Amino acid sequence: MDQTALDSRTRSSAGVDSSSFEDKLSMLGRFEEVVLLAAIACGPKATCNAILERLEQRTGIQRTQTTMHTTLDRLSKKGLIHSTMECASSSRRGGRRRRLFDVTTDGRDSVEISVGLITGMAKDAGLVEEGKNRAA
């Protein structure tokens, strides 16, 4: 299958028009992709610590909170994640409010496009059969 046919199939399966496909795909680095996936898995109003723990549990990737905040800030600047400050401060945190993160629609779209592209290419390469990973 040529690259144009693959791009077209991936675009249509991801439900995006071709004008935004390259923009959304190029916005996302591999680490940013797994951070977004971890944030989606954590659900709305996820904390940096919750995202970090999910990432470590599922991937074994260990990063500091500083690294995670830097990545979350970068995703926020790209419009892929939105952060708010918790309304009430907690006495167990010494009165400090927590920063809460929600993945935006563009963030979800970017992840869906990226995962769709990788999955499609893995199927074409014979690495994935009907939703199963050969290594499993």
pLDDT tens readout for residues 32-60: 999 999 999 999 999 999 999 999 999 99
Task: Say which residues have a Cβ less than 8 Å from residue 21's Cβ, sequence separation at least 6.
Answer: 7, 10, 11, 14, 113
Share of the chain above pLDDT 70, in %: 69
pLDDT tens readout for residues 85-101: 987 666 565 667 889 99
Give the pLDDT band of residue 5 (cuts 50, 70, 90). Answer: very low
What is the spatial distance between Cα 51 and Cα 40, in angstroms, rounded to a whole number?
9
Q: Are 106 and 79 in contact (CB under 8 A)?
A: yes
Average pLDDT, the chain: 81
Residues 108-130: what's their mean pLDDT? 89
Strand partners, 101: 46, 83
- Domain 29-85+96-128: CATH class, spelled out: mainly alpha
pLDDT of residue 134: 52
Q: Is the pLDDT of residue 133 over 80?
A: no
What is the spatial distance between Cα 11 and Cα 30, in angstroms, rounded to a whole number?
19
pLDDT of residue 96: 75
Residues 57-86: what's their mean pLDDT? 93
